[in-house]
Amino acid sequence: MNLTTENILLVGSLLLFISIVAGKTSYRFGVPTLLLFLGIGMLAGSEGIGGIHFDDPKAAQFIGIVSLNFILFSGGLSTQWTAVKPILKEGFVLSTLGVLLTAISLGYFVWLVTDFTIYESMLLGSIVSSTDAAAVFSILRSNNLVLRKNLRPTLELESGSNDPMAYVLTLAFLTLVIHQDQGIASIIPMFLQQMILGGVFGYVFGKLSKKLINRIKLGFEGLYPVLVIAIMFIIFSTTDFFGGNGFLAIYISAVYLGNQDLIHKNTILQMYDGLAWLMQIVLFLTLGLLVFPSHIVPVIGIGLIISLFLIVVARPISVFISLMFFKMRLRRRLYISWAGLRGAVPIVFATYPLLAGIDKADMIFNIVFFISVTSVLIQGTTLTVVAKWLNVGSPENISSPYDEIEKWQPDIPKSAIKEIDIKPDFYAVNKKLVDLNFPKNAHITMIIRDNEYMTPTGFTVISANDTLVVISDSKNDLIKAEKCLRQSCS
């Protein structure tokens, strides 16, 4: 089936709906949502039951770039400086040197086991050198797994900030593949220009954006997230126009903005969280439509060899060398190595060789797609098991529930806060939070159950012996809230 103006909205909305439902269901079985979204796209494609013919790498790349803007910006906005500051050096080294070492070691291996030239091999290694944050944390959240010490912010910072490095390496080695008369030294100026300008533009635009957002008076709260979207694309396109790395610029700007006081900040954060999910689904579906399963079959053998080398050798080597000067236990280094999932970003980067028209572009794209799928399938389904095996998954080292409140809900008033133990005879036992008729200004921000920390929703059911962390902007409302837990307030 060919997509037309008449049916594109129907088909797109149906695929989106199926993806959301399938993603929710997949949590119960430990299947990463990335695989579900890609699988739905492939089933809907020209070789699947949907029969939708989509063979446009240029359109897929455009959708990919737009989606990555939202995903990276949303990740930057949600990055808490207080959480990443203690591990800033480790995260920076992993997202730069770690990516470079992964690209070089894997590229050299590809050169040894295939008929690719050295530059083609390094291009493939560069494309799959970055990790996917969304895949890692969707799996951790679905299993209610809390990582010890600073593992989570380390993985979060690396995964959120290493795409720009992989992008620059991809462009650099693609240039060398196209212009084979040039040497490695010729790409160094471009590399420095991309990274330096990207960093500078990101910081400067971040400061300017804060002033603009807080000073402009739009009259409607809903217009502020729209303003931020416009600012995001201006940052990306302007940085790219001047030869800098747009992905790096928007991530740095977003991190800066996320840690500043902004007008209607909660509205902006909530909208970006939803848009990031939407863009991930759209991106994965698009890439699923773009791939032809019959083209993957011939590369399964070599793809599996390269994927296993990446997982077992290249990634661990890059992590251990990058972190060799930092004090960190062996099991934490091992877990960081294992949590280096590949996701949709490498598949997006693999469209660049397709558009450049190099000889082995189709083979590179199919191998990269296979590597991403096997990485998520092998590593993604075992993240929880490996965390428990290495003894790095536990809530014991969270200093207090208040630290988590500050990290995830920084804008809720906290002039009054209290932990309330739920006795078996309390009215709230076996009741949903939405049914308690709580005071408007009181919020249950966390539930401690069996030594595990849970972030509740309105549909969370309270159990006997739970400990609720309740915050409010007045002590009177806290008293009323506790009363509603003991007896009916209706």
Q: Are 161 and 91 in contact (CB under 8 A)?
A: yes
Q: Is the dihedral of CA 291, 280, 370, 374 positive or negative?
A: negative
State pLDDT tens for residues 225-239: 999 999 999 999 999
According to DSSP, the residues that pair with 147 across neighbouring strands are 393
pLDDT number for residue 486: 87
More confident residue, 396 or 338: 338
Mean confidence (pLDDT) of the chain: 83
Nearest CA to 83 out of 19, 157, 145, 139 is that of 157
Instruction: Supply the pLDDT for residue 406.
Output: 45
Q: Which residues are CB-neighbours of 451 under 8 A, at least 6 positions away?
A: 395, 396
Share of the chain above pLDDT 90, in %: 31
Name residue 81's amino acid: W
The mean-pLDDT minimum among 158-162, 346-350, 358-362 falls in 158-162
Give the pLDDT score at 403: 47
| DSSP code for 418 | E
| Band of residue 394 on the pLDDT scale cut at 50, 70, 90 | low
Bridge-based pairing state of the strands 452-454 and 467-472: unpaired
Separation between Cα atoms, residue 302 and residue 305, nearest integer Å: 5
Start-to-end CA distance of the chain, whole Å, equals 55
Q: What share of the chain has pLDDT > 70, as a percent?
A: 87
Q: Tell whether the model's pLDDT for residue 80 goes beyond 60.
A: yes
Provide the CATH topology of domain 401-486.
Alpha-Beta Plaits (3.30.70)
Residue at token pair 């990031």: 276
> Which residues share a beta bridge with 449?
452
Single out the residue of 170, 180, 70, 90 nearest to residue 130, CA to CA.
170
Rounded Cα–Cα distance for residues 165 and 244 (Å): 12
In this structure, what token pair is assigned to residue 281?
Answer: 């689904």
Could you tell me if 251 and 76 are in contact, meaning their C-beta atoms sit under 8 angstroms apart? yes
Q: Which residues share a beta bridge with 471?
A: 417, 443
Q: What is the pLDDT of residues 109-157, one digit of tens each?
A: 999 999 999 999 999 999 999 987 666 656 655 555 667 667 878 887 8
Residue-level pLDDT at 408: 44
DSSP 107-170: HHHHHHHSS--HHHHHHHHHHT-S--HHHHHHHHHHTT--BSTTHHHHHHHHHHHSHHHHHHHH
User: What mean pLDDT comes out for the span 151-175?
Assistant: 87
Task: Let me know the angle formed at the C-alpha of 130 by 150 and 83, rounded to the nearest 5 degrees.
Answer: 20
Other CB atoms within a 10 A radius of the CB of residue 145 amount to: 19
Task: Answer yes or no: pTM beyond 0.85.
Answer: no
Angle at 458 (CA atoms; ends 454, 461), nearest 5 degrees? 60
- Position with higher pLDDT, 23 vs 259: 259
Query: What does the block give as tokens for 212?
Result: 């603009």
Q: Which of 26-35, 149-158, 292-301, 434-443 is predicted least confidently? A: 26-35
Torsion of the alpha carbons at 199, 200, 204 and 206, rounded to the nearest 10: 0
Residue 363 has pLDDT above 60, yes or no: yes
CB–CB of 297/369 below 8 Å?
no
Cβ neighbours of 83 (radius 10 Å): 18
Give residue 3's pLDDT.
55
Q: Which of 157-166, 175-184, 303-312, 432-441 has the lowest mean pLDDT?
A: 432-441
pLDDT surpasses 70 at 69: yes
CA distances from 487 to 49, 181, 205, 424, 452 (A): 55, 80, 52, 12, 26
Nearest-angstrom CA–CA distance, 85 and 91: 10
CA-closest candidate to residue 395, choices 149, 138, 157: 149
Provide the CATH number for the domain formed by 8-389 in this structure.
1.20.1530.20
User: What is the rounded CA–CA span in Å between residue 228 and residue 269?
Assistant: 10
What residue ranges do the domains of the chain occupy? 8-389, 401-486
